Amino acid sequence: MTDYKAIYKRWLESDAVDEATKKELSDIAGNEKEIEDRFYRELEFGTAGMRGILGAGTNRMNVYNVRRASQGLAKYMLSKGSNAAKAGVLIGYDTRNFSRIFAEETAKVLTANGIKVYLFDTVHSVPEVSFGIRELKTAAGVVITASHNPKEYNGYKVYGEDGGQLPPEAADVVIDAIESYDIFNDIKVFTDEQMQKSGLLEIVGPDLNEKFLNEISKQRLNPEAVYRVSDSFKLVYTPFHGTGSRPVQAILSRMGFGNVLVVKEQDTQDGNFPTVKSPNPEDKEGFELAIKLAKENDVDLIIGTDPDCDRVGVVVRDAEGTYRTLTGNQTGALLCEYILSSKAKKGQLSDKSTIIKTIVTTELAAAIAEKYGVKTINVLTGFKYIGEKMTEFEKTGSHEYVFGFEESYGYLAGTHGRDKDGVVASMLIAEMAAYYKTQNMSLYEALLDIYKRYGYYFEKTVSIVMPGKDGMEKMASLLSDLRKNPPKQALNMDVVMTTDYKMQTITDKDANVSALIGLPKSDVLKYNLSDGKTYFIIRPSGTEPKIKIYFGTVRESLEESEKTLEDLFDDVKKLLGI
């Protein structure tokens, strides 16, 4: 077991630790629970990078952990040869507290190791970094962000040369390198002056922004619809104090949207996110100001992007005037239908056309794709797996990527990047709403029309927060217990198939086991029920201290689907003892 007290003492006494950090640690002296939580483990660097609460300690996001992660990345880069070091690393950062500082510290470590660094001149979105890696042909990229997490968090995401998050094999190399270094003694780091004199730092300015917008513009499907309704069509946009403000407003203006109302209170670069509990476009709470503005201006559509602008939330007005927050699955289904139907009309689909979604994402997308003769590929949770498939398609020519999305509000149309893109998604959502307006339909009516044609698919995601060391142990125990004692029934139906993505097995109701083929290992359990229409999935979050449970069904009405999942959730809560 980690001697957290000894590590705490070392940080307090080390000459490598700055005085402000020592003061923070001195202030918690005697608080055993707090000391243990900060030092009982090292902040985990996984395939999605590193994310944690800001503060002093081995289990916190701070300059020392950022430097150590950067030293690990440097070792990985140098192991690939001198060409990788010359190609360099593009570093981007969002509006969170300490993001610019962490970006600069990353640059200082990489340049100290002889690696070329491209550093953005100001805050930039994840999609701009993903695009920039490909455009500048760098060997890797780093984004300082904690996406939609609360203000207490920040993070460190690493990207490969294709613009996608590092695949597991590459991430493992970086992780091994990180673990080989002492957090204080083994890190090479330049001073500001040394970095400037090295000739290895290049600041990236607005030219790349323009190239990005030009590439995004190519994904327009019905630009004439925007011009037809430009005088009357209005929408509300909020960047939730994040990086989306500049690129999203720019692309909407370029599209011809002249009536974009921006939530001014949320159009500030403020890592404290003062107007919301959490800058998460999944939560309707964050849209209160936007809904107020929409009501005052008779607006049907609200779009919001999270701080690093890789996720998009949508609020639409129904026929009764109620503003409804769409789920990620609903927005994804709308985009899927809009993109595929538009491309079908233009003759732009082929027998290679493919959409990609994650295993926890709505099956409605597959039903829509089937109608248009388009293939559907399922991957593990995490957009990096969608990006991996895109790169595979590019290399082999086996498929043509059309659209990819995940239920957690991430979408990508186009192959300009390899991560979810809130800029292109915002553009297409706005264009889609304008198109349906030319058909005398609102977006909500378009969604109901999809349900009517394909079936009333409905999904629900529930997160059970389990913070701290105790929470980590409880999550591990819960998943272990489920594997030892798998559920036999739920909602008065038999569990007819259990898919264990970690053990790579599929077990039927008679306990016959077959191998799961085609997907890497992941700590995920899926249970299909005997009606052939209903399932639930359990997995620990890869970025936050919580268990996530996904429910899905399809019924004869939306009300029936909703009721089914409410009842199923009650059953599963009893099953898990929560």
Positions annotated as catalytic residues are: 147
3-state secondary structure 446-486: HHHHHHHHHCEEEEEEEEEECCHHHHHHHHHHHHHHHHHCC
Residue 165: what residue type? Q
CA 278, CA 151: separation in Å to the nearest integer? Answer: 7
- Which residue's structure tokens are 């349906």? 436
Q: What is the dihedral of CA 309, 200, 198, 49, to 10 degrees?
A: 50
CA 352, CA 398: separation in Å to the nearest integer? Answer: 7
Contact 380, 520 (CB under 8 A): yes
- Which residue's structure tokens are 């005052």? 296
CA 209, CA 132: separation in Å to the nearest integer? Answer: 9
3-state secondary structure 114-168: CCCEEEECCCCCHHHHHHHHHHHCCCEEEEECCCCCCCCEEEEEEEECCCCECCH
Query: Could you tell me how many residues make up the chain?
Result: 578
**Which neighbouring-strand residues pair with 277?**
none
Residue among 307, 306, 305, 303 nearest 315 (CA): 303
CA 391, CA 141: separation in Å to the nearest integer? Answer: 16
Contact 223, 216 (CB under 8 A): no
Contact 302, 294 (CB under 8 A): yes
CA 117, CA 309: separation in Å to the nearest integer? Answer: 23
Between helices 206-217 and 422-438, what is the axis angle to 10°?
Answer: 40
Contact 367, 443 (CB under 8 A): no
**Tokens standing for residue 458:** 């409905």
**Local structure of residue 42 (DSSP, 8 states):** P
Q: H-helix or E-strand containing 198?
A: helix 192-198
Q: Count CB-CB contacts under 10 A for residue 72.
A: 24
**Tokens standing for residue 215:** 């590439």
Contact 391, 384 (CB under 8 A): no
